């Protein structure tokens, strides 16, 4: 799996990452959503460098200009509900992409730290021979992304597979490397230290879905 780590150098990306983590800023849910969206826009720009392009000519008011345009069919698929603001950031740049949505959540059958992943909802277009961009803000254990990936791959063969996350833990990356094909691209805005005993990312930012849309039962 090819890993693209985007925050290793100084850029405005780190400015937005700092704001979504900051407890004095992140309580503003509208600002939190917008910052996640802006991170998605930056990630979309960086990811666009790996896409395929074709040469075209366009008519301007004063003449003809040779340029290029994306030659890939893109499908953006986000994991509900936390992935929605990040999805919008990608869609702002890849505005002609098709869109899909899928659910995944941690199910604690014994009311303890053990959990499995339930995938109960899927609404996605045909992804055969297209570039699939799987979008989720947090890569903790990696189990959700693997479960969603396996569900999406039932009777489907994308041309390319890109996974985009804002914050990743080393344990989650290792899980993806073990269970996903080698030709996948993993895009991470930043890499954190570890998971805690509850499998939450440290230092992380908390629950991205709750911060964006309010606490759930």
Classify each residue of 108-135 as buried b or exposed e, where b means 16 or more C-beta atoms within 10 Å of its C-beta: eeeeeeebebebeeeebeebeebbbbbb
pLDDT in tens, 75-127: 999 999 999 999 999 999 999 999 999 998 776 677 666 778 888 899 999 99
pLDDT in tens, 121-132: 999 999 999 999
Q: What is the pLDDT, as a whole number, of residue 9?
A: 86
Q: What is the pLDDT, as a whole number, of residue 113?
A: 66
Q: What is the pLDDT, as a whole number, of residue 108?
A: 65
pTM: 0.93
pLDDT in tens, 13-24: 999 999 999 999
pLDDT in tens, 155-172: 899 999 999 999 999 999
Q: What is the pLDDT, as a whole number, of residue 44?
A: 98
pLDDT in tens, 55-72: 999 999 999 999 999 999
């Amino acid at each position: 799996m090819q890993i693209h780590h985007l925050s290793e150098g100084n850029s405005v990306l780190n400015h937005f990452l700092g704001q979504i983590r900051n407890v004095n800023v992140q309580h503003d849910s509208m600002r939190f959503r917008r910052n996640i969206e802006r991170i998605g826009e930056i990630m979309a720009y960086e990811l666009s460098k790996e896409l395929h392009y074709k040469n075209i000519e366009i008519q301007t008011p004063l003449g003809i200009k040779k340029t290029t345009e994306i030659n890939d069919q893109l499908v953006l698929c986000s994991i509900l509900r936390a992935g929605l603001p990040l999805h919008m950031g990608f869609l702002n740049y890849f505005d002609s992409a098709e869109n899909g949505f899928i659910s995944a959540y941690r199910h604690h059958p014994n009311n303890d730290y053990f959990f499995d992943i339930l995938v109960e909802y899927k609404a996605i277009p045909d992804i055969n021979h297209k570039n699939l961009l799987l979008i989720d803000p947090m890569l903790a254990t990696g189990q959700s992304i693997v479960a969603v990936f396996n569900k999406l791959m039932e009777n489907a063969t994308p041309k390319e597979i890109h996974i985009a996350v804002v914050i990743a833990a080393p344990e989650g990356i290792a899980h993806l490397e073990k269970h996903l094909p080698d030709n996948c691209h993993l895009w991470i805005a930043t890499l954190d230290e570890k998971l805690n005993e509850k499998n939450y990312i440290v230092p992380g930012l908390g629950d991205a879905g709750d911060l964006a849309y309010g606490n759930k039962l």
